């Protein structure tokens, strides 16, 4: 039984090489191949293949074999492994980064490229207290980082619930205290959700959320060089 939450992150820029792309495309299941090739632009193809490669590697490392070959979708479109329904996973991509989390808990993950000032977006999509927290930082750089920190955390929660964007980000609030502890308020305090962040200092924010009091559950973070999968 899977006991450790496994986080996989990769830089997909290597997939710009058409030879590497084709070789790695053959390593993922047929449904993932079709999905990757259904995208019109190269970035979409690379991102779709990248998350598929991470899911396959995560399943192999966890002793689940090629479980990623059999994926189904729940009522709200959240994917699951049909051969191991007790094992949860979630995928995310942004820019040239992809992320996969495999966990014994319900899980949602997100990666976002840090792009600069997003104060107006915060006012539109965040709770007033969250926008105020962002503005209390002294520089635009720190405010931008704070915005994307909250954005990834919110996306994680929206995904772990299975509701995605049907749960608008201004319908719940997150509080980050001075020690970095994160608490969730959504129709009451939701202590059953635990948030974790990963900062690789690479211009991206990474986070995931797990349900059922998984705050103290062990985790393993791996940054994968996709070339080693050739």
CATH of the domain at 134: 3.90.470.20
Q: What is the pLDDT, as a whole number, of residue 213? A: 66
Do 76 and 154 belong together in one domain? Answer: no
Q: How far apart are CA 174 and CA 186, in angstroms?
A: 9
**Secondary structure E strands in 76-186:** 79-81, 88-94, 97-103, 107-113, 173-176, 182-185
Report the Cα–Cα distance between both ends of the chain, in Å, rounded.
28
Q: What is the pLDDT, as a whole number, of residue 162? A: 86
CB 92 within 8 A of CB 98: yes
Q: What is the pLDDT, as a whole number, of residue 215? A: 64
Do 21 and 96 belong together in one domain? Answer: yes
Per DSSP, the three-state class of 101 is strand
* Cβ count near 13 (within 10 Å): 13
Q: How far apart are CA 55 and CA 49, in angstroms?
A: 10
Do 118 and 187 belong together in one domain? Answer: yes
Task: Record the tokens describing residue 200, joined without a space.
Answer: 């690789």
Q: What is the pLDDT, as a whole number, of residue 106? A: 93
Backbone angles phi, psi at 26, to 5 degrees: -75, -5
Q: Kindly state the greatest CA–CA separation across the chain.
A: 52
Q: What is the pLDDT, as a whole number, of residue 75? A: 74
Q: Which residue has the tokens 């600069």?
A: 116
CB 194 within 8 A of CB 180: no
Do 124 and 161 belong together in one domain? Answer: yes
Task: Record the tokens describing residue 20, joined without a space.
Answer: 């590497």
CB 116 within 8 A of CB 160: no
Q: How far apart are CA 192 and CA 211, in angstroms?
A: 6
Per the structure, how many domains does the chain have?
A: 2
Do 65 and 136 belong together in one domain? Answer: no
Do 196 and 114 belong together in one domain? Answer: yes
Q: How far apart are CA 98 and CA 9, in angstroms?
A: 6
Per DSSP, the three-state class of 214 is coil
Q: What is the pLDDT, as a whole number, of residue 121? A: 84
Which residues constitute the domain of residue 13? 1-104+219-230
Q: What is the pLDDT, as a whole number, of residue 105? A: 93
Do 37 and 61 belong together in one domain? Answer: yes
Q: How far apart are CA 72 and CA 80, in angstroms?
A: 6
Alpha helices in 62-176 (DSSP H): 119-125, 128-135, 140-160
Q: Which residue has the tokens 């608008």?
A: 168
Do 96 and 114 belong together in one domain? Answer: no
Nearest to 67 by CA among 79, 76, 77: 79
pTM of the entire predicted model: 0.95
Do 21 and 91 belong together in one domain? Answer: yes
Do 113 and 203 belong together in one domain? Answer: yes
Q: What is the mean pLDDT of each run of 10 residues along the chain (230 residues)?
A: 92 98 98 98 98 98 96 84 95 98 95 84 90 92 92 95 84 92 94 94 96 80 96
């Amino acid at each position: 039984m899977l006991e450790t939450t496994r986080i996989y992150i990769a830089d997909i820029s290597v997939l710009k090489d058409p030879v590497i792309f084709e070789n790695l495309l053959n390593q993922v299941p047929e449904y993932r191949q079709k999905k990757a090739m259904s995208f019109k632009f190269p970035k979409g193809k690379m991102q779709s293949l990248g998350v598929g490669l991470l899911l396959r590697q995560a399943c192999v490392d966890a002793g689940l074999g090629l479980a990623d070959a059999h994926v189904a979708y729940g009522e709200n479109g959240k994917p699951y492994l049909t051969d191991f329904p007790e094992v949860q996973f979630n995928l995310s991509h942004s820019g040239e980064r992809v992320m996969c989390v495999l966990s014994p808990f319900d899980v949602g993950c997100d990666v976002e490229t840090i792009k600069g000032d997003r104060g107006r977006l915060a006012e539109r999509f965040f709770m007033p207290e969250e926008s105020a927290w962002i503005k209390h930082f002294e520089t635009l750089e720190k405010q931008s980082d704070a915005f994307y920190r909250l954005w990834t955390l919110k996306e994680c929660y929206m995904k772990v619930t299975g509701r995605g964007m049907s749960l608008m980000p201004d319908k719940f609030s997150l509080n980050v205290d001075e020690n970095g502890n994160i608490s969730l308020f959504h129709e009451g305090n939701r202590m059953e959700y635990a948030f974790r962040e990963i900062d690789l200092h690479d211009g991206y924010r990474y986070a995931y959320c797990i349900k059922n009091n998984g705050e103290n559950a062990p985790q393993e973070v791996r940054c994968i060089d996709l070339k080693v999968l050739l």
